Amino acid sequence: MTIGDNGFIKELNYKTVLDTIRTKGAVSRADVSRLTGLTRSTCTVICDRMLKQGIIIETGTVGSTGGRPPILLQINNRAGAVLGLKMMEDMIAGATVDLGGNIIQQQSWEMRPGLDMETYLPRFEEFVQDIIGKHRNSYPLIPMLGIGIGVGGRVSSDGVLIKSSVLGWRDVSLKKRLQKRFSMPVHIENDVNTFAIGEKFFGAGVHYENFLSLSVGEGIGLGIIIDGKLFAGSHHGAGELGHTRISFDSQAPYCTCGKQGCLESFTSDRAIIGMYNQETGKTFQINEIIQKASEGDPHALKVFKIMGRYLGIAVSSLVNIFDPQAVIIGGERTNASQFFIKELSTAMQENTVYDLAKDVDLIVLEPSNNEWIRGVAALAIREFFSATTNWRQ
Ligand SMILES: [Zn+2]
């Protein structure tokens, strides 16, 4: 379609209105007109169509200075649900999520680590079947619209798992296989990218067009949102921040990728455990080191400060390159952010050129076990919303 094409403009207007209602919450038709710049009559036609389709609902009225109080519109969260899934070596987890990002049901199955693909995938499919079956039994009126899957590794734009260091597989046509098996759209993405998409769609990034999401924990991952969209790179491999080399010292620690001196080998959980061991000669698990930091152990506090400084320097380079509106920090290690965020912030400010970091919002997410669900669900829901103009017509 080309610009000027009537159908194209109608579709664009529909998406603009839908996106406005979705991101602004309860709004009146007049608000929609004001926020989108579309005429009142165009907005009314589009909103009436959405009401008929069941994708939005009228939620009540607001006080008015005179005349009839305006009726508010919002997304009908229960107009559909998606299934978000996470594939890990020792566990598969899934949740059905409504269009507002609210979890309806969730479950997980343990897996025996080291399973080959031929054993893992049938078990995974059994899991998916089980959770879909439960959803259909409990919520027959909420249609299942699609599946979103997050996995550690490199995933192509057409849903081929090119390489997963987590699962040890290569070149698996996951999307094709699962779409055939479950007869619904399947979207697969690298788990760090799903985190960025989730924040843009439901989370701290909703009102930013350009931001970076940094995932901190076992590894260091980067998601890049530019002009409101994920930037995945020319070969779907962008964001490997953890494996940028930051030390050329021949004694620099080895990284899980096999190379030496990567950022990750100074900032991941494994690095913190290693640094603590160097400081004290003792080996503890990451949660024990966090506990020690919270009790004031100077060695534990020191290693988190070093880690924060390394991360802050890395973030300053990113700010120099991308000039983002915000940097959002998530991942498991946000549960220790109080021990490293000050150093991260200072290093970011000190090492950025032209004071670029001054106006960058540094946001640390609350530690949550369910952060991933928002990401994988958003993967499927955003596709639904962008394809929704023809829904139930
Ligand atoms: Zn590496």
The hierarchical CATH code for the domain 6-75 is: 1.10.10.10
Predicted local distance difference test score (pLDDT) of residue 235: 85
CA distance 104 to 82: 10
Q: How many A from CA of 244 to the centre of ligand 1?
A: 7
Predicted local distance difference test score (pLDDT) of residue 3: 47
Which residues of the chain, if any, have pLDDT below 50? Answer: 1-3, 392-393
Within 10 angstroms of residue 391's Cβ, the number of other Cβ atoms is: 15
Provide the percentage of residues in the chain whose pLDDT is more than 70.
96
CA distance 15 to 111: 41
Structure tokens at 82: 């998606």
Q: How many A from CA of 310 to the centre of ligand 1?
A: 15
Predicted local distance difference test score (pLDDT) of residue 5: 65
Q: How many A from CA of 218 to the centre of ligand 1?
A: 12
131-181 pLDDT tens trace: 999 999 999 999 999 999 999 888 998 999 998 877 888 999 999 999 999
Q: Which residues contact 108 (CB under 8 A, 6 or more apart)?
A: 91, 92, 93, 94
Mapping DSSP onto H, E and C, the string for 328-380 reads: EEECHHHHHHHHCHHHHHHHHHHCCHHHHHHHCEEEECCCCCCHHHHHHHHHH
Predicted local distance difference test score (pLDDT) of residue 152: 87
Q: How many A from CA of 99 to the centre of ligand 1?
A: 37
Q: The domain 79-197+372-390 belongs to what CATH superfamily? A: ATPase, nucleotide binding domain (3.30.420.40)
For the chain, what are the domain ranges? 6-75, 79-197+372-390, 205-364
Q: How many A from CA of 346 to the centre of ligand 1?
A: 25
108 near 128, Cβ under 8 Å?
no
Predicted local distance difference test score (pLDDT) of residue 56: 92
* Dihedral angle sign, alpha carbons of residues 342, 344, 350, 352: negative
Q: How many A from CA of 153 to the centre of ligand 1?
A: 13
CA distance 391 to 185: 14
Provide the percentage of residues in the chain whose pLDDT is more than 90.
70
Predicted local distance difference test score (pLDDT) of residue 134: 96
Predicted local distance difference test score (pLDDT) of residue 4: 52
CA distance 113 to 93: 15
Q: The domain 205-364 belongs to what CATH superfamily? A: ATPase, nucleotide binding domain (3.30.420.40)
